[in-house]
Chains A and B, each alone.
Chain A
Amino acid sequence: MQIISKTKSVCPVCKRVIDAEIFEENGEVKIRKTCPEHGEFIDKYWEDYELYKKMMEYAFNGPGVENPQLPELSGANCPFDCGLCKLHMSHPLLINMVLTNRCHLSCWYCFFYAKEGQPIYEPSIEQIEKMLKMLRSLKPVAPNAIQYTGGEPTLRKDLVEIIQLTKKLGFTHIQLNTTGINLMDKEYTKKLKDAGVNVLYMSFDGVDKNINTKNHWEVPYILESARYAKLGIVLVPTVINTWNDHELGNIINFALNNVDIVRAVNFQPVSLVGRMPRKQREKFRITIPGAIKKIEEQTNGAISKEDWYAIPFVGAVSKFVETLTNKPTFEFSAHPACGMATYVFLDEEKIIPITRFIDVEGLIKLLDSSADEMFGKPSWERKLIAAKAALEIRKYIDKEKAPKSINFEKLLANILIKHSYSALGAFHVKTLFLGMMHFMDEYNYDIERVKRCVIHYVQPDGTEVPFCTFNVFPELYRDKVQEVYSYSPEEWKKLNPGWSYEKDKYHRNVEKLESGEAYKRTYFNIKRYW
């Protein structure tokens, strides 16, 4: 057993901020903390110490926000001074905005939707506009990516109008976090796409209908609609140990079968929010390296542990672009334990992870050292150094092993020198982005991680709160603020005559859905890629 680092966490019972240790034990990384009142808590932090050590090498401090919404707060008791305060160390890369707490499903485990008799939270267009404008004023870099979430955002009748407004205010990437059920309507899906939605962020917990009870029957029809509207989909499986951890390879295989429209799979190892006995936590807990190992096993090594890198790994790309242009750019300064990712390509029916033909570590070193060389030099000299680096890129690409459909040399040079992200369009052809995002809970809460969070919720009271603060302490943030800005059921019914909680609900006709051609086509002839 060896201590890796010291940090701060919270007591899962009384929530006070307490000292914590990150330590290695039997090849795993764990977190330990002791509350003077409630005793010791130990939990799994990351399943693979060697991988953790390697990824921590890429960690760096982000710029934070120059004009945080709560500059008067000290941040001394992070995460209870949130909103943001001046101590936050990353600027937001993705904003989440809750558009409603109404939902057409009633999942037993969900505490986020309004049940019969509960207040309705639905910010007005004016409030949404204020939040969006505030976000676009953030410095040094204003976020341009937003995810609309809920509840179920498609229950809002003015969703198209909201999307149009969002585009108008400068957001270039709009994700819709949805069950997808209302998107079985092709024309509605097209309307959303035309308004500016870039991608559907859709829950998908497994291929097996006993696992994915949320939208298994609807998914084939949603895929059809997305094809019709040319709207990409990100599949989002929540990974729960002993529940669907055997489905990870199947989910990727399913995505590859629909790679014409599925752009990504974003696995989310479960966050065990709320009090839970240790035995139960141990049963359900899985972290990023655990999920990656299962993917390696379930894909027969087609996608292996070595193919994945932590989010800040790409920090050198931002550093290169920022130094070359002398302008602040988006920085992926999240804590390495929060997320990992890779790209896989489908080429002549073969799966090729990006790491098999690009020496990504060598390339990152090249960009890092070129940025250092450019720093402080005049513009013409910076351009010269960048051009030299661009010429060297070819050394890091194995053309023999690379997918034949994409010219990677040209693509990378366009991104780095011309900052031409339109070139990325080529990436979408038979390309699948695989991501892992592990949100924290009270047991594995690490304040060093939350200080670097890049995914923030925005609220109508003008606060902007990191994901794992918003959802782990809903009593201070989400629920507290939403209550202020909610309508009582009576007020809501007055504003929406004829509305009832029940009328929002979706009623599934399994027989009809299973007998449809799209269902059979989607589930009965799945090709195996390994």
Chain B
Amino acid sequence: MKVKVLRAKVKKLKQEESSLLQYNLLLNKKIFVATFDENGNALFVFSPEIEKDLKQKISKILEKVEDEREEEYETLIARRFSPERTSKSKPINERLKLPKR
């Protein structure tokens, strides 16, 4: 199965708004990833058949498409099964205690 991967710059949204949009997009079974960060970066992975619908849903906040490509769904899944090391954990003594509540 082919999927489309779309990286975009979007308007910075309050978390209340971006999380609501993200939740509602993910309810669509053909959208596999929909994520926004605090800096207005967005990533979507979806089935090509819903491309028009998705783009319409994000049209009001879309500023710039940065990368758009097609790949196999299986490739996406395979990456999860062989994840790259991305960070280094600190030893326990170096981690801070939680701030006092």
What is A's interface to B at a CB cutoff of 8 Å?
A: 4-5, 8, 10, 14-18, 22, 36, 53, 56, 59-64, 66-74, 76-77, 80-81, 83, 86, 130, 133-134, 137, 139-140, 315, 318-319, 322-323, 328, 331, 371-372, 375, 461-463, 475-476, 480, 483-484
Of chain A, the residue at the smallest CB distance from B20 is A16
Whole-angstrom distance between the Cβ of A510 and the nearest chain B Cβ: 43
Do B88 and A14 touch (CB < 8 A)? Answer: no
Of chain B, the residue at the smallest CB distance from A52 is B101
Cα distance, A81 to B16, chains bound together (Å)? 15
What 7 A-B pairs are tightest by C-beta distance, nearest first?
A462-B80, A74-B37, A63-B89, A17-B19, A16-B20, A69-B80, A71-B86
Do A59 and B20 touch (CB < 8 A)? Answer: no
Whole-angstrom distance between the Cβ of A353 and the nearest chain B Cβ: 27
Of chain A, the residue at the smallest CB distance from B92 is A319
Residues of A near B22 (CB, < 8 A) are 77, 80-81
Whole-angstrom distance between the Cβ of B94 and the nearest chain A Cβ: 9
Whole-angstrom distance between the Cβ of A8 and the nearest chain B Cβ: 8
Among B23, B78, B90, which residue has its beta carbon within 8 angstroms of that of A63?
B90
**A-B residue pairs in contact (CB < 8 Å), sample of 15:** A16-B19, A16-B23, A60-B97, A66-B89, A68-B86, A69-B81, A73-B43, A77-B15, A77-B36, A134-B80, A134-B81, A134-B82, A139-B89, A318-B92, A328-B89
Among A17, A56, A68, A74, which residue has its beta carbon within 8 angstroms of that of B35?
A74
Do B43 and A72 touch (CB < 8 A)? Answer: yes
Residues of B near A61 (CB, < 8 A) are 95-98
- Give the most central of A77, A130, A371: most B CB within 10 Å: A77
Residues of B near A73 (CB, < 8 A) are 33, 35, 43
In B28-66, the 8 Å CB interface with A consists of 29, 33, 35-38, 41, 43
In B71-86, the 8 Å CB interface with A consists of 77-86
Whole-angstrom distance between the Cβ of B41 and the nearest chain A Cβ: 7
Do B93 and A319 touch (CB < 8 A)? Answer: yes
Residues of A near B38 (CB, < 8 A) are 74, 76
Do A64 and B92 touch (CB < 8 A)? Answer: no
Among A17, A66, A69, A318, which residue has its beta carbon within 8 angstroms of that of B16?
A17
Do B85 and A66 touch (CB < 8 A)? Answer: yes
Of chain B, the residue at the smallest CB distance from A64 is B89
Additional 9 contacts, C-beta under 8 A, given A18-B16, A139-B85 = A16-B19, A62-B95, A68-B86, A69-B80, A74-B38, A134-B83, A323-B93, A328-B89, A372-B93
Whole-angstrom distance between the Cβ of A63 and the nearest chain B Cβ: 4
With A61-B96, A76-B35 already in contact, the answer to whether A66 and B27 are too (CB < 8 A) is no
With A36-B16, A70-B80 already in contact, the answer to whether A60 and B98 are too (CB < 8 A) is yes
Residues of B near A59 (CB, < 8 A) are 97-98
Cα distance, A16 to B17, chains bound together (Å)? 7
Whole-angstrom distance between the Cβ of B95 and the nearest chain A Cβ: 5
Do A66 and B92 touch (CB < 8 A)? Answer: no
Do B43 and A56 touch (CB < 8 A)? Answer: no
Whole-angstrom distance between the Cβ of A177 and the nearest chain B Cβ: 25
Do B98 and A56 touch (CB < 8 A)? Answer: yes
Do B23 and A67 touch (CB < 8 A)? Answer: no
Whole-angstrom distance between the Cβ of B26 and the nearest chain A Cβ: 5
Do B20 and A71 touch (CB < 8 A)? Answer: no
Do A76 and B18 touch (CB < 8 A)? Answer: yes
Do A56 and B89 touch (CB < 8 A)? Answer: no
Residues of B near A322 (CB, < 8 A) are 91-92
Cα distance, A486 to B38, chains bound together (Å)? 36
With A59-B98, A60-B98, A80-B22 already in contact, the answer to whether A71 and B93 are too (CB < 8 A) is no
Cα distance, A331 to B20, chains bound together (Å)? 33
Do B35 and A77 touch (CB < 8 A)? Answer: yes
Whole-angstrom distance between the Cβ of B65 and the nearest chain A Cβ: 17
Of chain B, the residue at the smallest CB distance from A448 is B98
Whole-angstrom distance between the Cβ of B89 and the nearest chain A Cβ: 4
Do B92 and A71 touch (CB < 8 A)? Answer: no
Whole-angstrom distance between the Cβ of B24 and the nearest chain A Cβ: 8
With A66-B89, A67-B84 already in contact, the answer to whether A476 and B23 are too (CB < 8 A) is yes
Cα distance, A492 to B70, chains bound together (Å)? 32
Do A86 and B87 touch (CB < 8 A)? Answer: yes
With A73-B35, A134-B80, A319-B93 already in contact, the answer to whether A15 and B20 are too (CB < 8 A) is yes
Do B93 and A371 touch (CB < 8 A)? Answer: yes
Among B19, B84, B98, B101, which residue has its beta carbon within 8 angstroms of that of A77?
B19
